[in-house]
């Protein structure tokens, strides 16, 4: 199977003409009865060899961590980052293997961040909250720098999301340290969720910037946007449902349950408009919890879980089956300038 990125690469290399690539896309679109942009392609595995290499790489990285931990504090992270970079030189730069590249990127950024974390945990176990927040900001900035360096060399799409997440941690940690500077005993928890929510919205906007530069989803930019949306979705969903009280589990009320359903419908409309399903997936657990409570309250105690699965599963399958016509109807009602910048928007509204 060839991905959209492979097809674009073949056009760039001159292996096939642009017209031939467009004809192939049109043929595939006709078979699916949906624009290729609606398929939300991204590369994860190209064959079982991806899984085989990933397992071997993970084993090697775990061994490097164990050896480094036995040598000195911080060495484990250094060995993980170094090993991940060297493996990426072959499996990412030369072989272009999707799943190993993702794992090696995460291992490299995580290994770089683990160096100061492991060292400080062993040498300075007792730090004030303000100092810990400042150190957290520094570690986040270090991880963002590692992601930027990896992107410059390998350009793995998930790297931008890793860097954005690290920068979000940096900003949040700096704000927390500033809030606690005058009052070290201050509890930062009430401020964390609003900051996470704001960071999620910022990352979502950044993802849309990548998406709008590739409305037909024919280049690597679409893959970058996919991972950014996947990062932003839980950062937006969790604070909203926490404020509704859903995180308390058994303490859900009727207002909270109905609020969850209303927010999920709103998220569904946004997901349809931007043609990204990450928002729907990230909020799914909260909706399942709310519907289970509602069915139990209406007397379906024994079947509440089964009924919840039936309703949500059927709704999501129906939405998937009729995604394109429903999205076409929604996009057609948006302003023309917005339609042209959304994935496949001009084609859907035509």
pLDDT in tens, 261-295: 888 899 999 999 898 888 888 888 888 888 887 77
- What is residue 133's predicted lDDT score, i.e. its pLDDT? 85
Instruction: Give me the numbers of helices (H) and strands (E) for the chain, helices first please.
Output: 16, 0
Q: Whole-prediction pTM value?
A: 0.83
Position with higher pLDDT, 41 vs 238: 238
Q: Would you say residue 168 has pLDDT above 90?
A: yes
Per-residue DSSP letter, 251: G
**Is a pLDDT exceeding 90 seen at residue 67?**
yes
Question: Can you give the pLDDT at residue 112?
Answer: 96
Radius of gyration of the chain (CA): 23
Query: Are the CB atoms for 142 and 165 separated by under 8 Å?
Result: no
- Whole-number pLDDT of residue 30: 55
Alpha-carbon span 262 to 252, nearest angstrom: 15
- Return the pLDDT at 229: 93
CA-closest candidate to residue 60, choices 19, 98, 90? 90
35 pLDDT higher than 60 = no
pLDDT exceeds cutoff 60 at 350: no
Cα–Cα distance measured from residue 302 to residue 304, given in angstroms and rounded to the nearest whole number: 6
Q: How many CB atoms lie under 10 A from the CB of residue 44?
A: 9
Q: What is the mean pLDDT of the chain?
A: 83
> Which pair of tokens denotes residue 302?
């024994």
pLDDT, tens digit (0-9, with 9 covering 90-100), for 106-139: 999 999 999 999 998 888 777 777 788 889 999 9
Length of the chain: 350
Residue 286 has a pLDDT of 84
Q: Looking at residues 186-199, what average pLDDT do you find?
A: 86
> DSSP for 184-215?
TT---HHHHHHHHHHHHHHHHHHHHHHHHT-T
Residue 155 DSSP SS3: coil
Percent of the chain past pLDDT 90, that is, above it, reads 40
Q: Among positive and negative, which fits the CA dihedral 147, 150, 155, 158?
A: negative
Which residue has better confidence, 244 or 72? 72
The more confidently predicted of residues 6 and 93 is 93
d(CA 214, CA 225): 10
What pLDDT sits at residue 179? 82
Out of 48-62, 205-219, 248-262, which region has the weakest mean confidence (pLDDT)?
248-262
Reported as a single tens digit per residue, the pLDDT across 197-232 is: 999 999 999 999 998 888 877 788 889 999 999 999
Confidence of residue 161 (pLDDT cuts 50, 70, 90): very high
């Amino acid at each position: 199977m060839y991905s959209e990125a492979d097809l674009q690469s073949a056009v760039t290399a001159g292996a096939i003409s642009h017209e031939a690539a467009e004809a192939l896309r049109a043929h595939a679109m006709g078979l699916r009865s949906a624009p290729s942009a609606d398929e939300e392609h991204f590369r994860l595995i190209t064959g079982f060899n991806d899984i085989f290499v990933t397992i071997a790489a993970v084993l090697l990285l775990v061994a490097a961590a164990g050896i480094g931990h036995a040598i000195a504090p911080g060495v484990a992270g250094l060995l993980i980052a170094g090993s991940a970079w060297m493996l990426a030189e072959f499996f990412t730069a030369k072989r272009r293997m999707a799943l190993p590249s993702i794992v090696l990127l995460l291992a490299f950024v995580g290994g770089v961040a683990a160096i100061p974390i492991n060292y400080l945990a062993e040498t300075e176990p007792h730090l004030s909250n303000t100092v810990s927040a400042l150190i957290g900001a520094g570690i986040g900035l270090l991880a963002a720098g590692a992601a930027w360096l990896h992107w410059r060399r390998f350009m793995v799409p998930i790297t931008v999301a890793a860097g954005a997440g690290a920068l979000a941690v940096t900003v949040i940690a700096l704000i927390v340290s500033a809030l606690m500077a005058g009052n070290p005993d201050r509890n930062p928890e009430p401020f964390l969720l609003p900051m996470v929510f704001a960071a999620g919205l910022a990352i979502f906007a950044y993802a849309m910037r990548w998406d709008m530069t590739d409305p037909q989803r024919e280049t690597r930019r679409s893959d970058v946007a996919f991972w950014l949306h996947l990062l932003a979705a839980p950062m937006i969903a969790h604070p909203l449902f926490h404020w509704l009280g859903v995180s308390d589990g058994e303490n859900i009320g009727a207002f909270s349950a109905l609020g969850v359903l209303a927010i999920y419908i709103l998220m569904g409309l946004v997901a349809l408009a931007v043609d990204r399903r990450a928002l729907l997936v990230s909020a799914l657990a909260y909706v399942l919890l709310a519907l289970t409570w509602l069915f139990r309250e209406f007397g379906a105690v024994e079947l509440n879980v089964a009924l919840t699965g039936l309703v949500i599963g059927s709704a999501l399958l129906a939405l998937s089956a009729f995604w394109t016509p429903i999205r076409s109807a929604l996009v057609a009602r948006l302003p023309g300038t917005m339609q042209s910048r959304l994935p496949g928007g001009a084609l859907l509204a035509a």
